Amino acid sequence: MSINLKDFLVLTKFKLSFAVTLSSVFSFILVREEISFDIIYPLIGVLLLALGVSALNQYQEYLDDAKMARTKNRPIASGKISPREGLIISLGLILLSYITIFFSLNYVGIIIFTSVIILYNFVYTKTKKTTVYAAVYGAILGVIPPLIGWLAGGGEITDIRFLAIGLFYLVWQIPHFWLLILKYHKQYESAGFNTVANTFGVQRLERITFVWLLLTIICGLFTVALFPIKSNIIFLLIFLLVLYTLYSVFQLRKQHNYLKVFIAINIYITLLMILLSINILL
């Protein structure tokens, strides 16, 4: 098996997988209030699992990927990597993730990781063509990485601070997914996907997504309220971040620039969690 680094990174959606992993780091810092070596095993475990399930997803969908301009150049869909090689890589990464998370959370980690695979690769992936509400399953998955970080840091799942973080990531996932649908719905539909844009219509989906974007901003502010801000600079940066995000969201209805808003809402959740993490370490 000879696979170059670029194809491996695309197969495993490394950028997205790394971003997912960061959420576990943020929640670990927020509950532990320090940076500790205890984060290493859960960090590596979450990254390996994210890489593995992403590769498995591409193995499952390579025939559909080949039908869409946005995804036809993915390694398996384009023939750069054979389906068998993609499957071997994905299963190897998943196995390594199980071994790694066991050192941190024991069987609790194994159970959580197994639920991720079931929900993502066998529920979400399989239902994308049959229901327009598959994004709900994806939203639940978005809570898992911060949950791993929180538990690894010694936190309780019933802590109101984690519930706020979990809600933040849960709500953010919906417009995150629907903005991509708005941008690429014609490609999805040509590949046989019954998208939410087809069910609601583009204009109505745009209005619904706008509301979810505002809810995401509110959930972020609720999370901030539970972690006392120690620095005026941090407070100012959060304030400016909220203004930038609000401006970008309100441009959605005027300019219909879905990709621009998609980037803005991702910047919002990432920078907000970074600022909160820096604040807690001060």
**Domain identity same for 199 and 103:** no
pLDDT for 127 equals: 80
194 shares a domain with 143: no
The predicted model gives 187-201 an average pLDDT of: 78
Confidence (pLDDT) at 67 = 86
User: Residue 1: pLDDT above 70?
Assistant: no
What does the pLDDT read at residue 198? Answer: 81
With 90 as the cut, is the pLDDT of residue 83 above it? yes
Could you tell me if 4 and 111 lie in one domain? yes
CA distance 282 to 269: 20
Total structural domains in the chain? Answer: 2
User: Domain check: are 21 and 53 in the same one?
Assistant: yes
Q: Are 148 and 10 contained in the same domain? A: yes
The reply to whether 136 and 9 lie within a common domain is yes
Statement to judge: residues 121 and 256 lie in one domain:
no
* pLDDT tens track for 114-133: 999 999 999 888 887 677 67
Buried b (16+ CB within 10 A) or exposed e, 210-224: bebbebbbebbeebb
> CATH number of the domain that 122 lies in?
1.10.357.140
3-state SS string for the chain: CCCCHHHHHHHCCHHHHHHHHHHHHHHHHHHHCCCCHHHHHHHHHHHHHHHHHHHHHHHHHHHHHCCCCCCCCCHHHHCCCCHHHHHHHHHHHHHHHHHHHHHHHHHHHHHHHHHHHHHHHHHHHHHCCCCCCCHHHHHHHCCHHHHHHHHHCCCCCCCHHHHHHHHHHHHHHHHHHHHHHHHHHHHHHHCCCCCHHHHHCHHHHHHHHHHHHHHHHHHHHHHHHCCCCCCHHHHHHHHHHHHHHHHHHHCHHHHCCHHHHHHHHHHHHHHHHHHHHHHHHC
Q: Quick one: 165 and 151 in the same domain? A: no
Question: What tens digit of pLDDT does each residue of 92-110 get?
Answer: 999 999 999 999 999 999 9
163, 146: one domain: no
Task: Name the residue with higher pLDDT: 141 or 196.
Answer: 141
- CB atoms inside a 10 Å sphere around CB 145: 27
pTM, two decimal places: 0.91
pLDDT tens digit sequence for 136-147 = 888 899 999 999
Claim to verify: residue 111 and residue 137 sit in the same structural domain: yes
**11 in Cβ contact with 33 (< 8 Å):** no
pLDDT at 65: 87
Residue range of the domain that includes 142: 1-155
